């Protein structure tokens, strides 16, 4: 009986008693396979949802930054965005980064400039997020903008 109690603590879903019938064993195996497949499908769905949310997150950040930059942000209009991004901004600050032409930034073509700006934004965003929550954009200005929770 102690084995059964320990097994239940480990997450055992069912057990088989002796003597057992062949049909009962087959049914228990089918139930176990179904349970495993169901859990596998649930995990797959959760991963897909997380991937979709990961894709949407930069879009939501850009929209929220746009509202902040253009003074269109109100508590009501931004509440859903803030909840989705898991930030509050009860207090915080803004960093605006500008890429100087010292690195011949103006001489490269537009596509390469956008790619460079995005790489810099992503690098700095990841670094800031090690210690603070933040949102960022480089779409609506020539600069890279970060809004950081204090």
What pLDDT is recorded for position 129? 94
φ and ψ at residue 95, rounded to 5 degrees: -120, 130
In angstroms, the CA 143 to CA 121 distance is: 10
Q: With a threshold of 0.85, does the pTM exceed it?
A: no
Higher pLDDT, 87 or 15: 87
List 97's β-bridge partners, or say none. 144
Cis omega (within 30 of 0) on the bond before 3? no
Closest by Cα among 13, 5, 43, 6 to 30:
13
Q: Read off the pLDDT of residues 16-36 as tens digits, 9 standing for 90 and up.
A: 778 888 898 899 899 999 999
Q: Is 28 exposed, middle or buried (0-12, 13-18, 19+ CB in 10 A)?
A: middle
pLDDT tens sequence across 75-123: 888 888 888 898 888 899 999 998 877 767 778 888 888 898 899 999 9
pLDDT of 1 over the 70 cut? no
**Which sign does the torsion angle of CA 30, 14, 43, 45 carry?**
positive
36-74 tens-digit pLDDT: 999 999 999 999 998 998 889 999 999 999 999 999 988
């Amino acid at each position: 009986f102690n084995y059964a109690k320990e097994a239940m603590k480990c997450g055992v879903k069912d057990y088989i008693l002796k003597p057992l019938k062949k049909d009962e064993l087959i049914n228990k195996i089918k139930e176990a396979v179904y349970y495993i497949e169901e859990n596998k499908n649930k995990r797959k769905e959760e991963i897909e949802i997380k991937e979709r949310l990961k894709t949407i997150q930069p879009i939501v950040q850009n929209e929220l930054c746009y509202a902040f930059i253009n003074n269109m942000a109100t508590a009501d209009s931004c509440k859903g965005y803030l909840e989705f991004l898991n930030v509050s901004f009860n207090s915080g600050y803004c960093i605006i980064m500008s890429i100087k032409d010292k690195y011949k930034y103006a001489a490269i073509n537009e596509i390469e400039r956008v790619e460079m700006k995005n790489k810099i934004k992503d690098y700095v965003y990841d670094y800031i997020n090690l210690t603070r929550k933040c949102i960022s954009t480089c779409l609506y200005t020539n600069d890279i903008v970060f809004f950081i929770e204090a």
